[in-house]
Structure 1
């Protein structure tokens, strides 16, 4: 593959991102669902690629024709298949860069109730998933016990985490897990937005909301995904002079160093294992760990260093957010566009069972546990955690913005503090990354027991400590 061919795949990427945005602006029912343009563009690329349009056209053209891949090319699909696994490292490396890291006591005070609720939901997805795998998916459909982790990987972790684990799935002999996880993540985002909006309408009618009393106040521009003129603000702050270094270049370099530090940590762990317990037990557990959770730790290390030496505060969180957002758009679009429909079709019943079980658990947790764990503004605060548990963090932020447009409740502050302790472990953190290798190495039952303990522990802390306040 030549550099020109690789560059051409990026032009395809730009085309589908723009097309997805144009369709979002033009079609009202997509506006009402608040679907990101990257998801719309990803589905378009999937439909116009080799799996759908290509399969139809190959019946009318010879096998050497361009049209057997739809409007895509083999080079585009090859590059796009690799992009999600690369961009997820950038997404996680940027989680804590440019952000103020508060004390643990402050995190516990403001974000504790949401942390307890999110912790219960996250570990509960493992409990539900592994029980489903052990009792149904493995004996009746031949899926490995590792399938029990797919609900948490896809729903809590989202497209990024599923893409980041693609190499792990393949190395452990469960390559189908990647396509199933991407499919589940897509179902999670779609159902998260749809069910979330339904829940908000229900809560308004029942009087369970403290802030809004109707959900009809959104402007046309907002539904189109365009910032209203009066609300526009700089996308980032110029913290350095462009004649010395372009601000975007500086922040990109810092993100790159965070990923590099994560890579060094991973290589160090692999080496330590090879000369210690790995040499004794002949195991290679560390080689199955993906890079992205270590890239997140690399970002924390870089941020701590900058806190010590950066008196001018040159790291701008808004600029970091732009890099993270671009990477996430690329990740989501290419992950959806390259998902294998054949795999999902082959395992359609297990796929639907996992999707249904995950959705049912999340809705149950929000309606039954959230009011009893979160002492004040339970709906405004809990709807964000519900949205995150169904897909990506952006889904949670979207639903919180609908339920609390002006930020009058402690929802956003609590959600932000909760993420500082939550993200390093669940929702794409260390536990999510290690769950597949752990189940493979130790078996499903030990991990199930541990997940039950964590889930029950989070529920008890939430109900008995925060719920009584």
Structure 2
């Protein structure tokens, strides 16, 4: 593959991102669902690629025809297949860069209820998924026990985590899990947004919301995903002078160092294992850990250093957010555009069972546990955790913005503080990354017991401590 061919694949990316945005502006029902342009563009790419258009063309043209790949080329599909696993490292490296890290006391005070609720939901997805696998998926469909982790990997982690786990799935002989988890992540985001909007309308009618009393006040521009003129502000601050270094270049370099530091940590862990417990147990557990959670740790370490030495505050959180958002758009579009429909079709019943079980658990948790765990503004605060447990953090933020457009409740502050403790472990953190290797090495039962204990800890802490406040 030549450099020109690789560069051309990014022109495809640009085209489908613009197509997705244009469709979002023009199609009313997509506006009402608040679907991101990257998801829309990803579906268009999937339809016009080898999985749909290519297979349809195969009925009327020869196997050697270029139409068997749809309008995509083999080089495009090859590069796109690798991009999600690369971009997730950038997404996680940026989670804490440029952010103020508060004290544990403040995190507990403001984010504790949402942490208890989110902790319960995340570990509960493991419990539900592993039980479903042990009782149904393994004996009747022959899926390995690792399938029990797919609900949390896909729903809490989203497309990025699923993409980041692709190498782990392949090394463990369950490469189909990548396509299944990407499909589940898509179902999670779609159902999270749709059901979230339905729940918000229900809550307004039942007077369970404390901030908004109707959901009809959104402008046409907002539904189209365009910032209203009066709300427009700079996308980032100019913290350094461009003649010394372009601000975007500086921030990209810091993000790159965070990923590199995570890579060094991973190599160090693999080396330590090779000379210690790896020799004693004849195992190679660390080699299965993906890079992205350690890139997040790299970002935290770099931010701690900047907090101590950066008196000029040259790291701008909004600039970091732009890098993160750009990487996430590419990740989602390419992940959806390259998903294998053949794999999902082959495992359609297990796929639907996993999706249904995950959705039912999340809805149950939100309607039954959230009002009993979160003492004030339970709907405004809980809907964010519901959105995250169904898709990604952005889904939760979107739903919170709908029910609290002017940030009148403690929802955003509590959600942000909760993320500082939650993200390093669940939703793509260390537990998510380690869950599949642990189940592969030790079996499903030990991890099921541990997940059940963690889920119970979250429930009891929420009900008996925060719920009584």
* Alignment pair present for 1:305 and 2:291: no
Supply the distance in 2 between the matched residues of 1:347 and 1:57 (Cα, whole angstroms).
24
Q: Residue 64 of structure 2 aligns with which residue?
A: 64
Deviations 1:21-67 (Å, cap 9, x if unpaired)? 00000000000000000000000000000011001112222222211
Instruction: Work out the CA distance in 1 between the residues paired with 2:101 and 2:173.
Output: 39
Q: Deviations over 1:145-180 (max 9, x none)?
A: 000000000000000000000000000000010000
Cα displacement (A) at 1:120: 0.2
- For residues 246-268 of structure 1, the C-alpha deviation after alignment (integer angstroms, 9 at most, x for no partner) is 00000000000000000000000
Match of 2:176 in 1: 176
Query: Secondary structure at 1:207's aligned position in 2?
Result: coil
1:225-282, Cα deviation, whole Å (9 max, x unpaired): 0000000000000000000000000000000000000000000000000000001111
- Name the CA distance, whole Å, in 1 between partners of 2:51 and 2:256: 34
Q: Which residue of 1 aligns with 2:206?
A: 206
Q: Does 1:288 pair with 2:295?
A: no
Distance between the aligned counterparts of 2:60 and 2:197, measured in 1?
44
Q: Secondary structure at the match of 1:445?
A: helix
SS at match of 1:51: helix
In structure 1, the gaps of 5 or more residues are none
- Give the alignment's TM-score, normalised by structure 1: 1.00
After superposition, where does 1:440-455 map in structure 2 within 5 Å? 440-455=440-455
How far has the Cα of 1:426 moved from its partner?
0.3
Hey, what's the Cα distance between the residues in 2 that align with 1:280 and 1:389? 38
1:251 alignment partner in structure 2: 251
Matches within 5 A, 1:348-387: 348-387=348-387
Give 1:394 shift: 0.4
> 3-state DSSP class of the match of 1:78?
helix
Measured in 2, the distance between the counterparts of 1:281 and 1:393 equals 38
The 5 Å alignment of 1:230-245 reads 230-245=230-245
1:317 is matched with: 317
Q: Provide the secondary structure at the position in 1 that maps to 2:51.
A: coil
How far 1:318 moved relative to its partner? 0.2
- Structure 1 segments, 4+ long, off by >4 Å, are none
In 2, Cα distance between equivalents of 1:121 and 1:68: 43
What is the 5 A alignment of 1:128-167?
128-167=128-167
| 1:419 alignment partner in structure 2 | 419
CA distance in structure 1 between the partners assigned to 2:51 and 2:382 by the alignment: 39
Could you say which residue in structure 2 is the equivalent of 1:9? 9
**C-alpha RMSD of the superposition:** 0.4
Per the alignment, residue 344 of structure 2 pairs with 344
The 2-side partners of 1:264 and 1:252 are apart by 18
Alpha-carbon offset, residue 453 of structure 1: 0.2
The answer as to 2:125 corresponding to 1:122 is no
Cα distance in structure 1, aligned partners of 2:207 and 2:422 = 30
Three-state SS of the structure 1 residue aligned to 2:339 is coil
CA shift, 1:197, in A, is 0.3
CA–CA separation in structure 1 for the residues paired with 2:300 and 2:148: 30
Corresponding residue number in structure 1 for 2:263? 263
Aligned residues: 469
Structure 2 partner of 1:459: 459
Distance in 1 between the 2:203 and 2:462 partners? 22
What's the secondary structure of 1:22's corresponding residue? Answer: helix
Task: Structure 2 unaligned segments of length 5 or more: list them.
Answer: none
Partner of residue 187, structure 1: 187
> Which SS does the other structure have where 1:52 is aligned?
helix
The aligned counterpart of 1:31 is 31
Secondary structure of the 1:311 match is coil
**Deviation of residue 451 (structure 1)?**
0.3
Aligned pair 1:94/2:94, yes or no? yes
* 2:407 equivalent in structure 1: 407
How far apart in 2 are the matches of 1:197 and 1:6?
A: 40
Aligned to 2:18: 18
Alpha-carbon separation, structure 2, partners of 1:44 and 1:458:
40
Aligned position for 1:74: 74
TM-score when normalising by structure 2: 1.00
1: distance between equivalents of 2:58 and 2:187? 29
Note the C-alpha offset of 1:92. 0.1
- Name the CA distance, whole Å, in 2 between partners of 1:405 and 1:309: 36
Partner SS state of residue 205, structure 2: helix
Aligned pair 1:436/2:467, yes or no? no
User: CA–CA distance in 2 between the matches of 1:51 and 1:422?
Assistant: 36
